[in-house]
């Protein structure tokens, strides 16, 4: 048996998307052959796919061809060109926009609300639509302000989920098993709002701002910096400093506070707070 690679499943998913203009009725033979390929793939490879492709392959592997086809039609909207027989009232060509992935956050799970989700006609188990493991936190730093209470600010978003003003924002500093955290707030970021239906609200509230208190750091050494974002009980964290603007980068290597002496340094995949050992008088 030939091993099925991730690239094979991606190509299979794209070919299934390309077949969606054929109609709303599931093409039985095509889906059967696709299910055979998906079923022979290593489950770990299926679980490494992007959310839409991941759910479709799960559906096919478990014999749910009809909801898989419905999910494919949903995913193809705005991606695959459809030929329309009628024009609009103005005479302009008819245009579809890519559909956002609607989600239901039910901590600790996040479910993709594709056609077929909790539809009693199909009886598909909820876990087939669970995509929480695919969600990552994208974090960027725009500004760093030194002082008695240094401030870090930028944008961050749980990809797939729409940002919300009520999301929790926390900067975490870690050193030898000890964690210190400082809460912050969400900020509206019009500059992060995209022009399509998929991105119109995705990052509208992606701004974050946190003031840290260096006096809370209990030991000298490097404290790695992390940002944690939570929405309705679901949370992810990412290293701060992996992505930063020019203005923020200028703060690296310089003191953030003098009492206690703390500097911002780069290393080990992100930024850290370097706490200098203070001499006893």
pLDDT at 277: 79
3 state DSSP class of 77? coil
**CA gap 84, 27 in Å, rounded:** 20
pLDDT at 89: 41
**CA gap 52, 271 in Å, rounded:** 33
Which two three-digit tokens encode residue 35?
A: 């299910």
**CA gap 245, 212 in Å, rounded:** 20
The answer to whether 109 touches 231, Cβ cutoff 8 Å, is no
Which two three-digit tokens encode residue 171?
A: 């900067």
pLDDT at 81: 67
> Which of 177, 178, 163, 161 lies closest to 208 in space, CA to CA?
163
pLDDT at 114: 95
> Which of 256, 259, 258, 248 lies closest to 273 in space, CA to CA?
256
DSSP designation for 139? E
User: What CA dihedral angle connects 262, 264, 266 and 271, to 10 degrees?
Assistant: 100
pLDDT at 92: 46
Which two three-digit tokens encode residue 178?
A: 């000890």
pLDDT at 86: 45
> Which of 96, 112, 95 lies closest to 104 in space, CA to CA?
112
pLDDT by position in tens, the chain (length 281): 468 999 999 999 999 999 999 888 999 999 999 999 999 999 999 999 999 999 999 999 999 999 999 999 999 887 776 654 444 444 444 455 567 789 999 999 999 999 999 999 999 999 999 999 999 999 999 999 999 999 999 999 998 899 999 999 999 999 999 999 999 999 999 998 876 655 667 889 999 999 999 999 989 999 999 999 999 999 999 999 999 999 999 999 999 999 889 999 998 899 999 999 765 44
pLDDT at 197: 55
pLDDT at 268: 84
């Amino acid at each position: 048996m030939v091993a099925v690679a991730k690239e094979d499943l991606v190509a299979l998913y794209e070919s299934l998307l390309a077949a969606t203009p054929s109609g709303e009725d599931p093409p039985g033979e095509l889906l059967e052959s696709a299910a055979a390929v998906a079923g022979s793939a290593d489950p770990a490879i299926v679980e490494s796919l992007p959310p839409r492709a991941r759910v479709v392959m799960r559906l096919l592997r478990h014999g749910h061809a009809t909801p898989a086809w419905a999910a494919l039609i949903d995913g193809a909207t705005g991606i695959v060109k459809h030929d329309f027989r009628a024009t609009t009232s103005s005479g302009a060509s008819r245009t579809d926009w890519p559909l956002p992935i609607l989600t239901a956050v039910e901590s600790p799970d996040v479910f993709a609300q594709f056609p077929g989700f909790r539809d009693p006609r199909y009886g598909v188990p909820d876990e087939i639509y669970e995509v929480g493991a695919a969600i990552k936190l994208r974090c960027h730093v725009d500004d760093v302000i030194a002082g008695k209470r240094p401030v870090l600010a930028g944008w961050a978003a749980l990809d797939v989920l729409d940002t919300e003003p009520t999301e929790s924002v926390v900067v975490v500093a870690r050193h030898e098993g000890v964690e210190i955290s400082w809460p912050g707030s969400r900020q509206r970021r019009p500059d992060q709002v995209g022009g399509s239906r998929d991105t119109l609200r995705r990052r509208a509230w992606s701004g974050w701002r946190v003031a840290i208190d260096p006096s809370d750091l209990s030991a000298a050494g490097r404290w790695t910096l992390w940002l944690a974002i939570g929405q309705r009980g679901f949370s992810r964290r990412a290293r701060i400093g992996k992505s930063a603007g020019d203005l923020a980068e200028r703060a690296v290597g310089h003191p953030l506070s003098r009492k206690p002496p703390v500097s911002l340094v780069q290393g080990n995949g992100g930024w850290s707070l370097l706490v200098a050992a203070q001499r006893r008088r």
